[in-house]
């Protein structure tokens, strides 16, 4: 454990000092990395820990974004307060979806389909909601508010530290959950729900708590997202491709691991950026060229490390994870 | 007073009567066996007791409280633990984690639960395997893991569904020894479904025989094995020799 703590401390120190050595663009890439690591961690709580496949996690990201942005724009409510409302609403929606599926025993693939359906409903709904700009998008004004940290107004450097703190907090939360009784109950339910019941675990309650934790975390991701970009479009934020983006980092890094989402984000986001530059440099302007290369890169990674990069890397480094 | 009382429980699957008005009583501290040919309804009876299915008719009492209709997790919390005939470990987790999760029912602090699990694993000769995933165990080890995980929930009564099946005779003898120890030293009442008559004869004080969902005999192992109907339907003629 000592060695792991040392490595963690070193990583934290490097990340805290890193912006000194980076330009604005590089800093903004790392913001994306941290936000991806954060959202990956949230998704991983449901899929990696409790075995619930959500293919519609963009729902919570988008709801968190819209709720906090609307409260800020229409009522001047600071997102630091608005985030509580965003979390409450996301948790409410998550519990409704959870109750619906657990009540009617919708499991596995069918549960995943249900999560897609709800994200799609939100996408279409917000497309028509004039209060938050409808299909034209919802915008936060940038003028005159720069530097108001209590309103989450700031540039890449500010959001570097905001997103770093979020990713670190999500990691710490997941470490604590993974080692808690609830965390072990999630693993048991993921491995075999029937056997979990036989050792006294209330499976529905365990699943519901995973859904709630994951939705609450994702809501905060949405708040950061919208205040960083200063805009939100329902067609993008609730899109299926967004849900897939959320899943990619933990899948590539290692589902159910604590470092997987972080490692996955550090690989995927820079890879995506590099591919943009590469396709531009090569003069390939075909739409989707980036997606083709990205897909190829994913296939290679999955082929080389089918259960994620972190599990195989961990073995080589000789460090354990989550075992007391 | 008996620890477990099953009163005329019946379970029908569509047209088939899987368990037909079966009644039995198990005294506290006893080792009680349920035997019968394949398809006699033994596992269904266990599932009715453990709360996996609701009974169509009849009642189940554990420690004086009516438990039929309760969820499996609630039944387990009352102190009635079970193993599965087709073993169901948590395959991706280690042996130690498997058993510690059982211990967490009574011991919410994970660290203490892992310590408790260690005791149980040592008892069942699984301590050396603690860091292996359950998926990597051999069948005899998985059977023992199944017992260990159930035992870690600190039950008053253990329902064991064919924990000897597929074991070699020496392994069977070891399991018999372990079960006897659990019964004597920890006062755990045991109800077992078993085909291995060698184990039934060695362990059980009372044997209940099912055939086609109905009770056909009950008594000491000796009495039951002499019962003409039991010989005809289950043991076969060679048992007479």
Domain definitions of chain B by residue range = 2-88+153-240
Going by pLDDT thresholds of 50, 70 and 90, the confidence category of residue A320 is low
Q: Predicted confidence band at A322 (pLDDT cuts at 50, 70, 90)?
A: very low
Q: Which residues, in sequence order, are bridge partners of residue B31?
A: B190
Residue A323: pLDDT band (50, 70, 90) is very low
Task: Return mean pLDDT, chain B.
Answer: 93
Residues A198 and B105: beta-carbon distance below 8 Å: no
Residue A135 lies in a domain: yes
Report yes or no: A177 at the B interface, CB cutoff 8 Å: no
Q: Which of A180, A190, A200 lies closest to B76 in CB terms?
A: A200
Which residue reads 């019941």 in tokens?
A197
Whether residues A192 and B91 touch (CB distance < 8 A) is answered with yes
Phi, psi of B172 (to 5 degrees): -60, -45
Nearest residue of chain B to residue A176 (CA atoms): B110
For the cut 50, the answer to whether the pLDDT of residue B200 exceeds it is yes
**Residue A54, in any domain of the structure:** yes
Q: Which strand (E) or helix (H) includes residue B140? A: helix B139-152
Q: Is A90 among the domain residues?
A: yes
DSSP B3: E
Q: Report chain A residues whose CB lies below 8 A from the CB of B89.
A: 191-192, 195
* Residue B80 pLDDT > 50: yes
Q: Report the residue of chain A nearest B115, measured CA to CA.
A: A324
Query: Whole-angstrom Cα distance, residue B60 to residue B49?
Result: 7
As a dihedral over the C-alpha atoms of residue B176, residue B179, residue B180, residue B186, rounded to 10 degrees, the angle is 170
A193 has a chain B CB within 8 A of its CB: no
Has residue A196 been placed in a domain? yes
The reported pLDDT for the residue numbered A144 is 66
Q: How many CB pairs under 8 A join A and B?
A: 79
Tell me the percentage of chain A whose pLDDT exceeds 70: 97
Task: Give the residue-averaged pLDDT of A108-122.
Answer: 95
* Owner of token pair 């820079």: A270
- % of chain A exceeding 90 in pLDDT: 74
Query: Does residue B238 surpass a pLDDT of 70?
Result: no
Cα–chain center distance at B35: 12
| B155 vs A3, residue with greater confidence | B155
Q: Please give, rounded to a whole number of angstroms, the shortest distance from the CA of B185 to a CA of chain A.
A: 22
**Lowest-confidence pick of A110-124, A145-159, B20-34, B127-141:** A145-159
Contacts of A181 in chain B (CB under 8 A): 104, 108-110, 113
Q: Which of B47, B67, B73 to mutate to test binding with chain A, by most A CBs within 10 Å of its CB?
A: B73
Q: What mean pLDDT, rounded, does chain A reach?
A: 92
Chain A residues with CB under 8 Å of B77 CB are 200
Residue A114 tokens read as: 């249900």
CB distance A194–B88 less than 8 Å? yes
DSSP B92: T
For the segment A152-157, the average pLDDT, to the nearest whole number, is 89
Which residue, among A176, A301, A201, has the nearest Cα to A249 in the 3D structure?
A: A301
Cβ–Cβ under 8 Å, residues A185 and A196? yes
**pLDDT computed for residue A241 by the predictor:** 92
B contact test, residue of A102, A187, A199 with most B CBs within 10 A: A199
Report the 10 Å Cβ neighbour count for A102. Answer: 18
Instruction: Assess whether pLDDT exceeds 60 at residue A281.
Output: yes
Percent of chain B with pLDDT over 90: 83
Mean pLDDT, residues B213-239: 83
Q: Taking residues A73-81, report their average pLDDT.
A: 94
Strand order in the sheet with B214-219: B80-82, B157-161, B189-193, B31-35, B206-211, B214-219
Question: Which range has the top average pLDDT, A107-111, A188-192, B36-40?
Answer: A188-192
Residue pair B43/B165 in contact (Cβ under 8 Å)? The answer is no
Instruction: Quote the CA–CA distance of A3 and A22 in Å, as a whole number.
Output: 28
- B13 forms beta bridges with B16
Instruction: Look at residue A301 and tell me whether its pLDDT is greater than 60.
Output: yes
Confidence of residue A321 (pLDDT cuts 50, 70, 90): low
pLDDT digits (tens, 9 = 90+) for A204-222: 999 999 999 999 999 999 9
Residues of chain A found within 8 Å of residue B109, distances taken between Cβ atoms: 181
- The Cα B126–Cα A198 span in angstroms is 21
Match 């491709």 to its residue by tokens. Answer: A241
- A195, A205, A311: which to substitute to probe chain B, counting the most B Cβ within 10 Å? A195
Chain A residue with the nearest C-alpha to that of B151: A199
- pLDDT for residue B241: 40
Contact A187 B71 (CB under 8 A): no
CA dihedral B57, B63, B67, B68 (to 10 degrees): -20
Q: Calculate mean pLDDT across residues A16-43.
A: 95
CA distance A276 to B157: 64
Please report the pLDDT score of residue A324 as a whole number.
33
Residue A275 belongs to some domain of the structure: no
| Homologous superfamily (CATH) for B2-88+153-240 | P-loop containing nucleotide triphosphate hydrolases (3.40.50.300)
Q: Does ipTM exceed 0.90?
A: yes
Residue B157: other Cβ atoms inside 10 A = 22
pLDDT at A99: 95
Q: Is residue A214 part of a domain?
A: yes
- Determine the distance from the C-alpha atom of residue A96 to the mean position of all C-alpha atoms in its chain, rounded to a whole number: 21
Domain tally, chain A? 1
Which residues have a Cβ under 8 Å from the Cβ of B226 and sit 6 or more positions away? none
User: Which of B73, B100, B110 lies nearest to residue A197, judging by beta carbons?
Assistant: B73
Strand ranges for chain B from DSSP E: 2-13, 16-27, 31-35, 57-62, 65-66, 80-82, 157-161, 189-193, 206-211, 214-219
State which residues form the domain around A69.
18-239
Least confident of A120-129, A154-163, A310-319: A310-319
Do B77 and A200 make contact, defined as CB atoms within 8 angstroms? Answer: yes
State how far the Cα of B76 lies from the Cα of B80, in Å rounded to an integer.
Answer: 5
Is residue A200 within 8 angstroms of chain B, CB to CB?
yes
Distance, in Å, from the CA atom of A303 to the CA atom of A322, rounded to the nearest integer, reads 26
Q: Which residue from B minimizes the CA distance to A194?
A: B88
Instruction: Give A213-251 as a DSSP string.
Output: HHHHHHHHHHHHHHHHHSEE-HHHHTSHHHHHHHHHHHH
Contact at CB, B76 and A188, closer than 8 angstroms:
no
Is position A281 within any domain?
Answer: no
Confidence of residue A285 (pLDDT cuts 50, 70, 90): confident
Say whether residue A180 is in contact with chain B using an 8 A CB cutoff. yes
What is the rounded CA–CA span in Å between residue A138 and residue A152? 17
Q: Shortest CB distance from A200 goes to which of B91, B93, B105?
A: B105
The C-alpha atoms of residue B215 and residue A2 are separated, in whole angstroms, by: 61
Cα angle value A42/A48/A52 (rounded, 5°): 85
């Amino acid at each position: 454990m000592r060695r792991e703590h040392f490595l963690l401390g070193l990583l934290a120190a490097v990340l805290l000092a890193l912006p000194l050595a980076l330009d604005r663009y590089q800093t903004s890439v790392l913001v994306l990395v941290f936000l991806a690591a954060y959202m990956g961690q949230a998704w991983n709580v449901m899929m990696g820990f409790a075995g619930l496949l959500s293919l519609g996690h963009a729902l919570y990201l988008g709801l968190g974004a819209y709720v906090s942005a609307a409260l800020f724009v229409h009522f001047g409510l600071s997102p630091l307060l608005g985030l509580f409302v965003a979390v409450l609403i996301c948790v409410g929606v998550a519990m409704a979806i959870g109750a619906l599926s657990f009540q009617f025993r919708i499991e596995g693939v069918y549960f995943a389909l249900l999560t897609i359906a709800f994200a799609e409903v939100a996408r279409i709904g917000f497309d028509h909601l004039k209060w938050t700009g409808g299909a034209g998008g919802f915008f936060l004004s940038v003028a005159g508010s720069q530097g108001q940290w209590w309103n989450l107004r700031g540039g890449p450097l500010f959001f570097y530290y905001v997103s770093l703190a979020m990713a670190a907090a999500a990691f710490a939360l997941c470490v604590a959950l993974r080692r808690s009784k609830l965390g072990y109950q999630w693993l048991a339910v993921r491995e075999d729900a029937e056997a979990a019941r036989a050792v006294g675990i209330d499976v529905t309650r365990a699943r519901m708590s995973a859904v709630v934790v994951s939705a609450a975390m994702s809501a905060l991701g949405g708040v950061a997202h919208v205040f960083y970009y200063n805009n939100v479009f329902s067609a993008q934020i609730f899109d299926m491709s967004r849900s897939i983006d959320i899943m990619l980092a933990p899948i590539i890094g290692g589902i159910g691991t604590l470092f997987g989402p972080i490692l996955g984000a550090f690989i995927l986001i820079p890879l995506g950026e590099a591919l943009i530059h590469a396709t531009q440099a090569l003069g390939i302007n075909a739409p989707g060229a980036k997606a083709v290369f990205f897909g190829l890169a994913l296939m290679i990674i999955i082929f080389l490390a089918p259960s994620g990069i972190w599990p195989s890397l961990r073995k080589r480094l000789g460090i354990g994870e989550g075992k007391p | 007073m008996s620890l477990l009382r099953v009163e005329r429980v019946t379970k029908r699957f569509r047209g088939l009567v899987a368990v037909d008005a079966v009644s039995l009583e198990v005294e506290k501290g006893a080792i009680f066996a349920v035997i019968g040919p394949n398809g006699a309804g033994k596992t269904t009876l266990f599932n009715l007791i453990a709360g996996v299915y609701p009974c169509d008719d009849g009642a189940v009492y554990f420690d004086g409280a009516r438990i039929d209709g309760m969820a499996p997790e609630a039944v387990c919390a009352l102190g009635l633990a079970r193993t599965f005939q087709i073993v169901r470990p948590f395959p991706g987790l280690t042996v130690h984690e498997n058993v510690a999760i059982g211990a967490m029912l009574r011991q919410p602090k994970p660290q203490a639960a892992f310590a408790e699990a260690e005791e149980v694993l040592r008892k069942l000769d699984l301590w050396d395997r603690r860091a292996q995933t359950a998926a990597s165990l051999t069948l005899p080890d998985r059977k023992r893991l199944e017992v260990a995980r159930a035992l870690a929930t600190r039950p008053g009564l253990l329902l064991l569904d064919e924990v000897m099946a597929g074991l070699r005779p020496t392994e069977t003898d070891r399991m018999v020894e372990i079960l006897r120890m659990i019964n004597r030293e920890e006062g755990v009442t045991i109800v077992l479904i078993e085909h291995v008559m060698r184990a039934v004869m060695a362990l059980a004080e009372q044997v209940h025989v099912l055939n086609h969902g109905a009770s056909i005999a009950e008594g000491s192992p000796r009495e039951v094995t002499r019962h003409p109907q039991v010989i005809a339907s289950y043991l076969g003629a060679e048992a007479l020799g």
